[in-house]
Amino acid sequence: MKHRTLGTNGPWVSSVGLGCMGMSVAYGVPDTAESERTLDRALDLGVDFLDTADAYGRGANEELLGAWLRRRASERSRVVLATKFGLRHDPESGRVDGVDTSAAYVRTACHASLRRLGVDHIDLYCAHRRDPATPIEETVGAMAELVEAGDIRYLALSEVGTDTLRRAHAVHPISAIQLEYSLFTRDVVEGDMLDTCRELGISVVAYSPLGRAMLTGSITSVDELSSGDNRRRWPRFAEENLGHNLRLVEAVHRAAGEIGCTPAQAALAWLLAQGDDIVPIPGTKRRRYLEENAAAVDVILTEEQCEMLRNAVPDGAVAGGRYPEQAMSRLGH
């Protein structure tokens, strides 16, 4: 496994990380035993950058990782553990109903995550979303106090704009910003955001780098998804958009065939080729997909192959927004 540094002086992480959300919530039926085997296999392969959040299953995903970490306690130093805070849930429906990034909540959320994870520190602590009513300086100031206390090592933000990122970085160095970035979603990162990150020395952690599995070519109909799968209510998977988007996936599949790899590997290799400051975190709970994704670090694309993949999904070609309207309203761009 190859590695990259997050930010100017941040943690040294595997070039392809592992998003753990789907092990507990959102994508199909959880499989704890297979998830733990997948985490074991990740360490075997050198995939040491593990990403979770307190919002994933209202703490369930952190608890799953905590149980696994207790079993692998002697190898804690091999894991770069990232978690996020800020999303709050309605106690009755269980759905996210607000964002809290106040200083008091930063401390409360961090200590709760430490308990669930069963660790004495979090390697990368990330504000999941930004509460516009709370100055970013307050949020990052509280996070910086947690660094001083030894509870966390490095800071990250997710889904904020360039002005917010600059203000945050002025308070305490930000090692990474987590943003959706893939062949399907390029406008969020490319342009002003990426220029700002490179000016400040901040890496991009690319979540949903496979378009929530659509880019793998494994999904041809929402009927293949379980009844509780979140993708059933996301615009790009809606009946009026899916057929169009799958034709774009077919173009990626053809390009991958010419390159000599799987569509997933082509999509991840394309992200890796955008710069050493890009770290994708594809999510899976299955060992076979983890192994396929990890092997993308060995797919070295030429400039012509990168352009071929970019042209397979022209700018603005994807139909449908990346989140339902309510979730889009919580993004801080």
Q: Per residue in 9-48, pLDDT tens? A: 999 999 999 999 999 987 878 899 999 999 999 999 999 9
Residue 82 parent element (H or E): strand 80-85
pLDDT of residue 328: 62
In the predicted model, is pLDDT for residue 198 greater than 90?
yes
Please, what is the average pLDDT of the chain? 94
Confidence bin at 326 (pLDDT 50/70/90): low
pLDDT of residue 29: 82
For 322, half-sphere exposure in the C-beta direction (CA atoms, 13 angstrom radius) is: 23
Distance CA 98, CA 268 (A): 32
Q: Per residue in 46-66, pLDDT tens? A: 999 999 999 999 999 999 999
pLDDT of residue 323: 78
In the predicted model, is pLDDT for residue 307 greater than 70?
yes
> Which one is catalytic: 27, 56, 207, 289?
56
Question: Model-level pTM?
Answer: 0.94
- The domains located in the chain, with CATH, are 3-212+274-299 (3.20.20.100)
Q: Strand, helix or coil at 38?
A: helix
Ranges 23-32, 118-127, 215-224, 230-239, most confident: 118-127
Distance CA 73, CA 75 (A): 5
User: Does 56 qualify as catalytic in the annotation?
Assistant: yes
Q: Per residue in 107-134, pLDDT tens? A: 999 999 999 999 999 999 999 999 999 9
Nearest by Cα to 99 from 69, 137, 46, 54: 54
Quote the tokens at residue 152.
């966390």
What proportion of the chain, given as a percentage, has pLDDT over 70? 96
